[in-house]
Structure 1
Amino acid sequence: MKRLAKLGALAALLSVGACGVQPTEGAVPAGTAPFLPATGTESDTLVLYFVLDGRVTSVTRPASGPVPVGKALSVLLRGPDFEARANGYGTELPWANGQIGSDDQDPRRMAISVPFPVRTLSANAVNQLTCTATTAATRLNRVSYYVADFRLNGSDGSIASKGCLTN
């Protein structure tokens, strides 16, 4: 009986290996990613990016629908709530009082204006802004996309960002 079970397992392995797909060397390019609709009840949560153990990490909060980018960034700049702080989340963004603006109409370009200097922000702080903005725009517009041209405008000028790069 054991011998029959072993032969059955061997036959199954051989049939999987003979599926007709040829191995390739490295990745095969397939073009750019398509625009994909967002799914489920994602619009019922606000996703913010804070720092945990030196890494930019997402935190969700309840929302009553899609949250505009500017509003999401305003909430981000208030920092982690009590529960998130108790769980070790922090921020590398400066405290700010003032207007936050966003131009997120073109899914390939985005600009964020903040009321503090941006040229001296840490990589984590830049990612907190870009990841929160990109996620909010994705949920608001109900499509997934990659922002190729991301600008942060602050009181000391402007910097370019490569977009959301969590580590």
Structure 2
Amino acid sequence: MRTARRLAAATSGLAGLAALAGCGIQPTGVIEAGVPATGVHPQATVRLYFVSATGLQSVTRPASGPVGPRETLDLLLSGPNSAEAARGLTTELAPPVGVAKVVTGTEQVQIVMSTDVSALTPNAVSQLTCTAANAAAKEGEGPAARIDVRITGGRATRGPLRCAVPATPATPAPATTAP
């Protein structure tokens, strides 16, 4: 009985090989088709903070590549884009406010402004603080909530300050419909 099973298994295996050998596909050499796949690359993003009717709100924008703290603050100073403005987001960082220099270090950011920072509104200071802290955190300078931000300009210094606004934007509750 054992021999019959072995013979049946061997016959079945040989039949499978014969079927594959006779399928008509001819062997080929290596065919070049470009560079090897490297996996999925995550989209670079930048987090900015704008003013809404309910306070400060973060937004995430796609970026074409890594964006440092200085470039992030330049994006903040350019104001909300049309989609963000349509959602009611504004800024309290109006021209001629400008960033002259940004220096980051372990759990700290120094922003040197080209204007007098003593005239900035509390929302404007929070916009700068949260945007800079999140940009520095992305650079590996520590968690955003633990990064001290100092803003200087016009013989005044604001800080050290920390961002007290969550990094994730509020998600609206899904609408429900009655049956």
Once the two structures are superposed, the pairs formed by residues 47-126 of structure 1 within 5 Å of their partners are 47-96=47-96, 98-104=98-104, 106-126=105-125
Which amino acid is 1:86 matched to?
A: A
Query: Where has structure 1 moved over 2 Å in runs of 4 or more?
Result: 96-100, 140-145
1:4 aligned residue: none
- The percentage of aligned residue pairs carrying the same residue is 35
Q: Tell me whether 48-57 or 89-98 shows the greater mean CA deviation.
A: 89-98
Q: Is the 8 A contact 2:107 2:143 kept in 1?
A: no
Alignment partners' CA distance in 2, 1:96 and 1:80: 16
Unaligned runs of 5+ residues in structure 2 are 1-40, 167-179
What is the CA distance between 1:94 and its match in structure 2? 2.2
- Is the Cα contact below 8 Å between 1:50 and 1:90 reproduced in 2? yes
TM-score, length basis structure 1: 0.66
Task: Report how many residues are paired.
Answer: 125
CA RMSD of aligned residues (A): 2.3
2:165 aligns with 166
One-letter code aligned to 1:162? L
Structure index of larger Rg? 2
SS at 1:72 equivalent = helix
Q: Deviations over 1:13-49 (max 9, x none)?
A: xxxxxxxxxxxxxxxxxxxxxxxxxxx94x6111100
The structure whose RCO (Cα within 8 Å, separation 6+) is larger is 1
* Counterpart position of 1:10: none
